[in-house]
Every structure is written in structure tokens, then in C-alpha cells.
């Protein structure tokens, strides 16, 4: 995978012997830290210092002086995804899919798949923006969510029929591109609307064959997303956890025992499983600690639960786990998605956790897109009203 810059690996040391205690606290409710420091964010010629990426998939990123924007769950809704990216100030509003974010770092928190019909188009758009962003000193990062790992496992229970049709269309488009994956994948966002329109016209005539077409769609999806499939290998370029400067990003939530296991190790193992069998490992196993179970990184909802379902002592326990996790990786705060927030982007536990899944997809809550903006370690939510964007100051860090 192409990266902006690679440095030598900085392994994490397991935290002190509180791991078993942490797991007990979690069950009752349902080291040496990595740090980046620099005295200056600009180089000698006055421009921002280069972004440095550590890990494959990316795990630790130093992006001195950059504006960071985070976007939550998109669930196959291309219209809402575009609106969110425009609200974030990184996507042009003229429909040309141009990066206008300059040196901004964009982080998308997973769950692009399921519940909507334009999943591949969104993935293609983010890939195109990443290429453009790097040319301007910015970057686009993604972390995988539970719906990405479910689909690589072959769990299609939340797949929209339109998404199955998109898989069929894309495989045909890939053939037209002479099986050139990079060309087809990056350009799909620009042509997918036309393919969808042509398909919907033909579907009216072939309505009696819809069941057969669904079966064809499941086969096409499996070809793309099974371990070792081309789309699974594309998802394998992204980890399940990412640290950008002092901010930690993951889909569900990071816990102390995840840190003890090793963040780079978790990302590598999930990536290796998605890439499928190889000469070195003919049967890679999916890491349970990252992708399965109520307290795995992509499924954890511990930080997204609110009273009155939790007693005060339980809230204190959750805060203790959060503080231990952040301290062990040298992070100031954690940003998560996964659990829709009807009240919009919000923070909890002294703004040490930010919840940014607003359920914007029409397949979820169909709410107005919101994004989180981080500048100089100060965070705020930006909400789209479609006709205009209004900035809502949520909280600041001193």
C-alpha cells in the first residue's frame, strides 16, 4: 500500500497488570505509550512538515499543524456521504468529486457497507480523494467497522438489494476496464450513477427475473468481498484503529486489553485475514479480539451508552477504562462511530470520548450529516442543513 512516509515501527508495551481487572469491569457492565512530539509544526521554508505514517495498515500518524475532520457511518448513502464531505470542507460541491481540503487530514470511521445501495461508489470516492489529497499535502484515512468485517466473513444479512446490483454492475465495469482494478475502482464513483440508471430502466422489463438477479448479486458480492477478493484486499489497506497525533479513532471503542494485545498487531492480523490465504499463511484466522464479541474494537458500545441504563458506579467504571486506554497510548481523546446518536455529534466523560455516528444514511435515521472538526486540539461539530452549513461549537480543549 502506498503511504506518505514510513518510519520504523514503535511497538507498544502492555499496560500494567490491570488487564484482568479491566475485563472484569467490562463483563460486569454487559507499557510504554506511543507519543509524537515536536517543538514546531512547520519546516524551515515555512510549509507544514510532512505527514508521517507508521504501520501497515496505518496505525500511528503524525500530521503536525493539520486540520483533522472525522466522518462517521455512511451505510451506502452516496448523497449523504457527499453532503458530509462537503460540510467537512474537503469535497467540491460542483459534482466533480474534487478534493478542496488542502492539507486537511480526513478520517472516516467505517460502516460504509450495508443498509444502502451505493457502497462501492462511496469507497471509490474516498479512494479518489485520498489520491488527490496526497498531492496537496493532506490525506484520507479509513478504519474498518463491523459491517466491513461482516461482509468479508460472508454475512450479508443487512445488504440492500441495490447494493447487490451495484456489485453486478461493478464487475461488468471491471471487465470493460480490462480487469485493471485501480483504474476501475478509482473511476467508479464518476460512472456509477449512469450504470444505476441504465440498470433501473432494464429492471422494469426483467422484473420476473429479480430472484435470479439477487442470486447473481450474492455471487458477485462474494467474488468481490470474500477473503482474498479484490474489494476485501482494498479494505485490508485500512486498520481497525488509528492514532492521529493526540487523537484515537476506531469504529466501536478501544479498551485496555486491546492496547495490551498491540494496536499494530491487531491491524496487521485483520488485514492479513482480509487478504486471504498466502504462501506464508494458508488459512489466516479472523482476530476475535478485534472483530467479534461485544467488547471487540468494531462492536464495542461501552462508550456510547448513556443513563438511565447505567448506574453512577458503572459510569465511573467506564470512565476509568477510557482513561486507562487513553493514557496507555498517549492520546487526549477517542472518536468513535457505530452507535447512532439522535442528538447529533456529542462528547462525554469530560469530552474524552466523541460519538460521531449521527445515523445520516437513509437506511438508518436519515438525519442531517454532521462531522467533527479538530484544530489545534480543539474540537467542534459542523452540521449540514443541505441549504447551508451551520457551525456548532461543542467543546474546546485548552
Contact 105, 4 (CB under 8 A): no
Distances (CA, A) of 163 to 133, 263, 298, 331: 27, 32, 22, 37
Catalytic position from the list 75, 147, 238, 258: 147
Which residues does residue 336 pair with via DSSP β-bridges, in sequence order? 355
Contact 141, 58 (CB under 8 A): yes
Omega within 30 of 0 (cis) for the link into 285: no
Active-site residue flag, 147: yes
Contact 327, 320 (CB under 8 A): no
Q: Where are the alpha helices (DSSP H) in the chain?
A: 19-29, 78-87, 119-135, 146-153, 161-176, 181-205, 210-225, 230-235, 256-261, 263-275, 288-291, 312-329
How many Å apart are CA 293 and CA 271, to the nearest integer? 18
* Cell numbers that stand for 195 in this block: 450504470
> Active-site residues: which are they?
147
Amino acid at each position: 500500500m502506498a503511504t506518505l512516509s514510513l518510519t520504523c515501527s514503535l511497538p507498544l508495551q502492555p499496560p500494567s497488570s490491570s488487564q484482568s481487572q479491566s475485563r472484569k469491569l467490562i463483563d460486569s457492565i454487559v507499557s510504554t505509550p506511543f507519543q509524537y512530539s515536536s517543538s514546531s509544526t512547520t519546516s524551515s521554508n515555512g510549509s507544514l512538515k510532512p505527514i508521517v505514517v507508521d504501520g501497515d495498515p496505518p496505525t500511528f500518524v503524525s500530521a503536525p499543524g493539520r486540520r483533522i475532520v472525522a466522518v462517521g457511518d455512511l451505510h451506502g448513502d452516496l448523497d449523504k456521504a457527499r453532503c458530509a464531505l462537503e460540510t467537512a470542507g474537503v469535497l467540491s460541491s460542483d459534482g466533480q468529486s474534487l478534493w478542496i481540503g488542502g492539507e486537511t487530514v480526513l478520517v472516516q470511521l467505517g460502516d460504509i457497507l450495508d443498509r444502502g445501495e451505493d457502497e462501492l461508489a462511496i469507497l471509490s470516492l474516498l479512494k479518489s480523494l485520498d489520491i488527490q489529497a496526497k498531492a496537496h499535502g493532506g490525506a484520507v484515512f479509513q478504519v474498518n467497522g463491523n459491517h466491513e468485517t461482516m461482509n468479508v466473513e460472508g454475512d450479508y444479512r443487512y445488504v440492500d438489494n441495490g447494493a447487490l446490483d451495484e456489485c453486478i454492475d461493478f464487475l461488468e465495469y471491471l471487465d470493460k476496464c480490462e480487469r485493471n482494478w485501480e483504474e476501475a475502482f478509482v473511476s467508479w464513483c464518476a460512472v456509477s450513477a449512469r450504470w444505476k440508471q441504465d440498470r433501473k430502466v432494464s429492471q422494469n422489463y426483467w422484473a420476473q427475473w429479480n430472484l435470479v438477479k439477487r442470486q447473481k448479486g450474492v455471487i458477485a458480492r462474494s467474488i468481490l468481498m470474500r477473503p482474498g477478493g479484490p474489494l476485501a484486499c482494498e479494505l485490508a489497506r485500512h486498520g481497525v484503529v488509528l492514532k492521529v497525533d493526540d487523537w484515537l479513532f476506531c469504529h466501536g471503542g478501544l479498551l485496555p486489553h486491546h492496547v495490551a494485545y498491540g494496536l499494530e498487531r491487531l491491524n496487521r492480523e485483520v488485514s492479513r485475514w482480509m487478504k486471504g490465504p498466502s504462501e506464508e499463511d494458508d488459512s489466516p484466522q479472523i482476530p476475535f479480539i478485534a472483530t467479534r464479541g461485544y467488547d471487540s474494537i468494531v462492536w464495542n458500545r461501552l462508550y456510547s451508552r448513556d443513563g438511565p441504563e447505567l448506574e453512577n458506579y458503572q459510569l465511573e467504571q467506564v470512565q476509568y477504562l477510557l482513561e486507562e486506554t487513553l493514557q496507555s497510548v498517549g492520546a487526549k481523546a477517542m472518536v468513535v462511530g457505530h452507535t447512532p446518536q439522535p442528538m447529533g455529534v456529542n462528547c462525554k466523560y469530560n469530552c474524552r470520548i466523541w460519538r460521531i455516528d449521527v445515523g445520516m444514511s437513509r437506511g438508518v435515521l436519515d438525519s442531517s450529516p454532521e462531522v467533527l472538526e479538530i484544530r489545534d486540539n480543539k474540537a467542534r461539530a459542523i452540521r449540514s442543513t443541505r441549504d447551508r452549513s451551520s457551525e456548532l461549537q461543542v467543546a474546546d480543549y485548552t
